[in-house]
Amino acid sequence: MPAKRARRPDDRPEEILDAAIDVFLENGFAAARMEEIAKRAGISKGAVYLYFNSKEALLEELVRRSAGRIATAANDFVARSAARDPADTLRQILRFAVRAMLDEKISAAPRIVIAEAPHSPRIAAFYRDEVIRRGSAALTQLIEIGAAQGVFRDVDPRIVLRCVMGPMLASVLLHHVFAAPDMPQPDPETLADEIADFILNGLVPRPEAAS
């Protein structure tokens, strides 16, 4: 019956979402308890509901806020420098993306999505439209530009999408989920560069056509 806490700071929602990220990551969506989220945000259980209508709404807002950061960045990179140097553009995108994905906070949303999307059609659809589709568009455009310049092989962009997204995904999992002391992680910068090298190497035209 009492009401102890001070007035609503404007960044309450932010704080709640931050707390939610942690709890979702630690327990998964279904096992995450609203009370735990509230406690970490420094407020009461009920107060969470002043800002978000349900646990599901919390998750959706979480995804909404983080989604597309990388896709947006990729589009920016392409718009800015793809015409000048497609290969370097890809390298920059990869550096940006790998670095982002290795940051606990930034990779949190994709990881949660991977976990929840299979049985949450709304989340899946939202992520597909906001992230996958836009990222795919950026990549497709980049490939086309590079191919037109003769810098890239003429590969199906869907393959490229899988070969670019994939290593980042794998890195996220190996760093955050399946890490083991005896399997040391490459450091992020090196990882980004080497993945970029690998992919670019796979993308450049072979001088003499294979057999």
Partner DNA sequence: GATGAATGAGGTTTCATTCAT
Partner DNA sequence: AATGAATGAAACCTCATTCAT
Residues of the shown chain interacting with DNA in the complex, contacts defined by CB under 7 A: 1-9, 12, 31-35, 38, 43-47, 49-51, 53-56
Q: Are 37 and 29 in contact (CB under 8 A)?
A: no
Say if CB 43 and CB 5 are below 8 A apart: yes
Q: Toward DNA, which CB reaches closer, 26 or 76? A: 26
Q: Binders of a second copy among 103-162, rule CB under 8 A?
A: 111, 114-119, 124, 127-128, 132-133, 136, 153, 155-156, 158-162
Percentages (nearest 5) of helix, strand, coil residues in the chain: 75, 0, 25
Structure tokens at 96: 């940006």
DSSP 5: S
Site for a second copy in 7-36 (CB under 8 A): 25-31
What's the Cα-to-Cα distance from 143 to each of 10, 82, 87, rounded to whole Å?
43, 9, 9
| 4 near a second copy, judged by CB under 8 A | no
Report the distance separating Cα 173 and Cα 177, nearest Å.
Answer: 5
Nearer to DNA, 45 or 80 (CB): 45
Which residues fall within 8 angstroms of residue 5, CB to CB, at 6 or more apart?
43, 44, 47
Tokens in use for 57? 């709404």
| Binding partner of residue 5 among a second copy, DNA, none, CB cut-off 5 to 8 Å per kind | DNA
Residues 77-96 contacting a second copy, CB under 8 A: none
Please choose which of DNA, a second copy, none residue 192 contacts, taking the beta carbon within 5 to 8 angstroms, the exact cut-off set by kind: none
Q: What are the residues binding a second copy (CB under 8 A)?
A: 25-31, 111, 114-119, 124, 127-128, 132-133, 136, 153, 155-156, 158-163, 165-171, 173-174, 176-178, 180, 183, 185-186, 191, 194-195, 198-204, 206-208
